[in-house]
Amino acid sequence: KAGVTQTPRYLIKTRGQQVTLSCSPISGHRSVSWYQQTPGQGLQFLFEYFSETQRNKGNFPGRFSGRQFSNSRSEMNVSTLELGDSALYLCASLLAGGPGETQYFGPGTRLLVL
Amino acid sequence: KNEVEQSPQNLTAQEGEFITINCSYSVGISALHWLQQHPGGGIVSLFMLSSGKKKHGRLIATINIQEKHSSLHITASHPRDSAVYICAVRNNNDMRFGAGTRLTVKP
């Protein structure tokens, strides 16, 4: 069974640009969660999707958005990039997204904003 | 005060030593997760706990719901255990993370 894939793995952008990151969950999994990891703030929850619906959202500004497609693949978008958006963005795949489920993490997308 | 506190922040051990990493939380939870992150960023989920104790190989995780505390133990530590260990608590709405414990096991 293929694992969680994230594309691209590395990305360099400049301030003001926008970026779209992609996450393909494990086949059969219907829930995807997104996280941001920075040296200063550590890991923080961005949002969670289940069956194309955003189920939960973390405390991030509206510049951060996401969506999930019918094949469970998910994208997150960050508009008007700021230097502080430089981070490792991780997605996790879950069967249905219940609190007691194991999360399977992707390798992450490392974003650098110049 | 952080809602999820881990201790210690850094830990250096000699190969073979018994290791304990602690996690205390102040919010209501549905489950607690222990994660392992190696250099390069990849995260692996080690345990999910809602009560009691779980064991997998040399790793043992316990949780005390009343005291809002969990511990991760590594028996007979090995250099390949060197990583950052992260405690995360899940409620119905989101997931909160500790700052992580950086473990270095020397041969």
**pLDDT tens for the 114 residues of chain A, in order:** 679 999 999 999 999 999 999 999 999 999 999 999 999 899 999 999 999 999 999 999 999 999 999 999 999 999 999 999 999 999 999 988 777 788 999 999 999 999
Shortest CA distance from B32: residue in chain A: A100
DSSP state of B79: G
**Dist. CA A24–CA A92, nearest whole Å:** 9
What are A16-46's pLDDT values in tens digits?
999 999 999 999 999 999 999 999 899 999 9
pLDDT confidence bin for B1, thresholds 50/70/90: low
A108 touches chain B (CB under 8 A): yes
pLDDT at res. B53: 95
* SS3 (DSSP) at A83: helix
